[in-house]
């Protein structure tokens, strides 16, 4: 399964990531960081800085990759990419 990362600023697909079974154990932020997608953070994923917010308004550090895909599908969009 592929996970598509889109940039709102660029209007392009930034990356297409292969999702492995182990990735479903990760939160969205950790999955993106492991795949070299920059995610802003000043609280290291504690959930208080709100810098990791996605274009859909969710905190990527507080949402499991599996849950994100079930809610929104395998595509994510970031304002700053
Ligand atoms: S990394 Fe700070 S709220 Fe998500």
CATH class entry, domain 2-78: alpha beta
| Contact 50 CB / ligand 1 (< 6 Å) | yes
| Residue in 47, 58, 78 to alter for ligand 1 test, most ligand atoms within 8 A of Cβ | 47
Give 34-45 pLDDT, tens digit per residue. Answer: 999 999 999 999
Q: CB within 8 A of 51, min separation 6: which ones?
A: 40, 41, 42, 43
- Name the percent of the chain lying above pLDDT 70: 100
Average pLDDT, the chain: 93
Is the pTM above the cut of 0.85?
Answer: yes
Question: Which ligand 1 atom is nearest residue 48's CA?
Answer: 3
User: What single DSSP character describes residue 33?
Assistant: H
Using the predicted structure, report yes or no on whether residue 55 has a pLDDT greater than 80: no
- Ligand 1 centroid to 38 CA: how many Å? 13
């Amino acid at each position: 399964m592929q996970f598509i990362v889109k940039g709102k600023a660029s209007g392009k697909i930034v990356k297409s990531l292969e999702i492995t079974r182990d990735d479903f154990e990760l939160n969205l932020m950790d999955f993106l960081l492991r795949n070299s997608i920059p995610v802003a953070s000043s609280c290291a994923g504690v959930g208080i800085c709100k810098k990791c917010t996605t274009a859909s308004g969710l905190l990527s550090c507080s949402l499991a990759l599996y849950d994100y895909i079930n809610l929104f599908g395998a595509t994510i969009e970031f304002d700053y990419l």
